[in-house]
A and B are shown apart, each in its own frame.
Chain A
Amino acid sequence: MALPSPEQIKTQIEAGVPGAAVTVIANGSPSAQRSLLLDHAHARSVAEFLRDHAEWRLDYCSLMTGVDWLDAETSQKVKVKKVVQAADGSESEQEVEEVRKTKTPGYLEAVYHLFSMEKKHGPVVLRMRTTDRGDGARLPSLTPVWRSAEFQEREAFDLYGIVFEGHPDLRRILMWDGFVDYPMRKDYVPPVDEVPVVVPQRPGSAGTPSEVHR
């Protein structure tokens, strides 16, 4: 049996897990693969619901990854009616174009791809978003539901700084323990450890040794 559409999955989740808020996220790319955005409070029970669902049996989490979304600023042109004073002092109402800027605060996102080994179908894509990129970068861990997410959640913690609450062993996995940065974040700046290299003169060539800064 093929999987139902994301909207149908959403309806069934909301019926099966009371209080769960699920949003279907559109995808503008050619694959148009839509995903389900989960709320933090019910994410764990929604995950268990999907894993144990008799028809879907999404028993395999093939991939878990992090995404960094920086603070975004979108500008929109809006036509506004405004009172404009002309040069001779008379006032008249005119339609004026105005640029309105909306700021979307950045957040970190965790994406899970679910398949069913038993029913041989998938994927169902789950997303969770943190409230911000600072202290609020916390998400519930889905490792207790799918064990295969353990190392990948550790990797997302290591490289993006997402703290997974309920993870059994949340330590850095690639970088060393004393490391404090999150290198896969878009605003990460690697340490400057380049040095000027003096290129010596070739025998027989004129001029002084040139200094090359890489």
Chain B
Amino acid sequence: MADDLKELKIELSKNGIFTTTLEELYNWGRKNSVWPLTFGLACCAIEMIATTMARYDLARFGAEVFRPSPRQADLIIVSGTVTKKMAPQVVRLYNQMPEPKYVIAMGACAISGGPFRDGYNVLKGIDRYIPVDVHIPGCPPRPEALIHAFMTLQKKIEEQALAGDARPRHLHAELPSEFPVPAFGEHDLEPPMNRDVFTAEPGNPLKVIQ
């Protein structure tokens, strides 16, 4: 929105007249009702559970209801070590979620493989197969860190444009909303990464390394 329009809006609000745009209203509603998927993988999941309980109370941010089905979820929090045996199931759960959908990679393992990176059985970060919106470092991250990541995601949702070239992936008809599920190979997952997702090319709307 142009600056003079913003000033006009502030000026009107001082006089008791509240104005909004469809985009703002729509994003305001979306960012305050992000429903995560009931899904945990390892010790980070314990911190995620703690975040939802009374002390940290993720419900304050509109995420009070963890959905037991991917069909009803908006957000998948990849909380913990993604083993190579589990990775296809994580991608499949993501594929089953309806758009718009978001991913938080929680903890060292989910973002890079963490302490198990040099092992034979752990995926070196879930961003090899699905586009991650927010990465949280930590081993495990504290509930405050997850809340911070959640607020970062809310900010990201709030700033998404509904039209124009900068609109997010789910509003581009030609961009995929499902990603190939890796298969079990003889030595590793096949393919070991999805080059369309796991790329450093600037300007790619699927870009994950920033």
Tell me what chain B mostly uses at the interface: helix, strand, loop, or mixed. Answer: loop
Contact B119 A190 (CB under 8 A): yes
Query: Besides A175-B85, A181-B187, 12 other CB < 8 A contacts?
Result: A176-B184, A178-B184, A179-B184, A179-B186, A190-B118, A191-B188, A191-B192, A193-B193, A194-B124, A197-B209, A198-B200, A200-B202
Given contacts A180-B187, A193-B193, whether A175 and B200 have CB atoms under 8 Å apart is no
List chain B residues, Cβ under 8 A from A200: 200, 202, 210
Tell me what chain A mostly uses at the interface: helix, strand, loop, or mixed. Answer: loop
List chain B residues, Cβ under 8 A from A180: 186-187
Bound-state CA distance A181–B121 (Å) is: 12
Mask of A140-178 contacts with B, CB within 8 angstroms, 1/0: 000000000000000000000000000000000011111
List chain A residues, Cβ under 8 A from B119: 190
Answer yes or no: A183 CB below 8 A from chain B CBs. yes
22 A-B pairs in the complex with CB atoms less than 8 angstroms apart: A175-B85, A175-B121, A177-B184, A178-B184, A178-B186, A179-B184, A179-B186, A180-B186, A181-B120, A181-B186, A183-B120, A183-B121, A188-B120, A190-B119, A191-B187, A191-B188, A191-B192, A193-B192, A195-B193, A195-B198, A198-B200, A200-B202
Q: Which residue of A lies closest to B189 (CB)?
A: A193
Answer yes or no: B185 CB below 8 A from chain A CBs. yes
Bound-state CA distance A179–B83 (Å) is: 14
**How far is the CB of A66 from the nearest CB of chain B, in Å?**
15
Binding site for A on B (CB under 8 A): 85, 118-121, 124, 184-188, 192-193, 198, 200, 202, 209-210
List chain A residues, Cβ under 8 A from B210: 200
Binding site for B on A (CB under 8 A): 174-181, 183, 188, 190-191, 193-195, 197-198, 200
List chain A residues, Cβ under 8 A from B193: 193, 195
**How far is the CB of B108 from the nearest CB of chain A, in Å?**
14
Given contacts A179-B187, A200-B202, A200-B210, whether A190 and B124 have CB atoms under 8 Å apart is no
Bound-state CA distance A198–B192 (Å) is: 19
Bound-state CA distance A180–B187 (Å) is: 6
Bound-state CA distance A190–B192 (Å) is: 12
List chain B residues, Cβ under 8 A from A176: 85, 184
Select A190's contact among B120, B184, B209, beta carbons within 8 Å: B120
List chain A residues, Cβ under 8 A from B184: 176-179
List chain B residues, Cβ under 8 A from A174: 85, 121
List chain B residues, Cβ under 8 A from A188: 120
- Top 6 closest A-B pairs, CB basis? A193-B192, A183-B120, A198-B200, A191-B188, A176-B184, A180-B186
